[in-house]
A = this chain, B = another copy of it.
């Protein structure tokens, strides 16, 4: 099965932009640079959409578009549950050697309730503290000559990375608790894309897809 990172990202963009077709989602994800920091190649997106549809996390609507049809996807309830689960896991899991899951959690933070986010990040603080302590133990063992010296440098780097994250995490939590940033169900952010931005195109297309889907049902 695809990784937590991959699944959360794709369900996340569907949730953000639904109704949307594969190409829109692909364009969006590529603009986030997912090829580099997640390991999603453009070719994967369509097959993952098919898989998610089979699993009941999203719904596929084949809408007529001139003389052809476009495959447009919307979230299903099971998908929203799954996304919540994935984002919580991504927010809570500390892994210095694979921060990409956490980056997804941050990128998709606007989809999560403020309260849930704070709870998850507190849990993350606890986990980070534990991992930090474990690393200190391991370093002590290595220092007593129980493993080759190269290992100790590697552990030292890992420890410093975890400590850096802990410091950042404290700042981030403070910012959220001070009422900063915008989360699910809260007023629109002060920020909006520039007028000439291609982002509005996506919004218009989604609007049109939504109308077609509603018309089909009614």
Contacts and interface: CB of A to CB of B under 8 A. Distances in A.
A191 B148 CA distance: 6
Given A160-B164, A165-B157, A149 B95 contact: no
B161 A165 contact: yes
A6 to B, nearest CB: 11
Interface of A is mostly: helix
Contacts of A182: 149-150
A154 B107 CA distance: 8
A99 B100 contact: no
A160 B164 CA distance: 7
Interface residues of A, number: 41
A154 to B, nearest CB: 5
A175 B147 CA distance: 18
Contact of A97 (B99, B149, B180): B99
A157 B100 CA distance: 12
Contacts of A97: 36-37, 99-100, 103
A43 interface: no
A145 B193 CA distance: 9
Interface string A180-205: 11100000010100100000000000
Interface in A102-144: 103, 106-107, 109-110
Contacts of A160: 164, 167-168
Contacts of A37: 95, 97-98
12 contacts: A3-B39, A36-B95, A99-B99, A107-B151, A147-B191, A148-B189, A149-B180, A149-B182, A149-B189, A153-B175, A153-B181, A160-B164
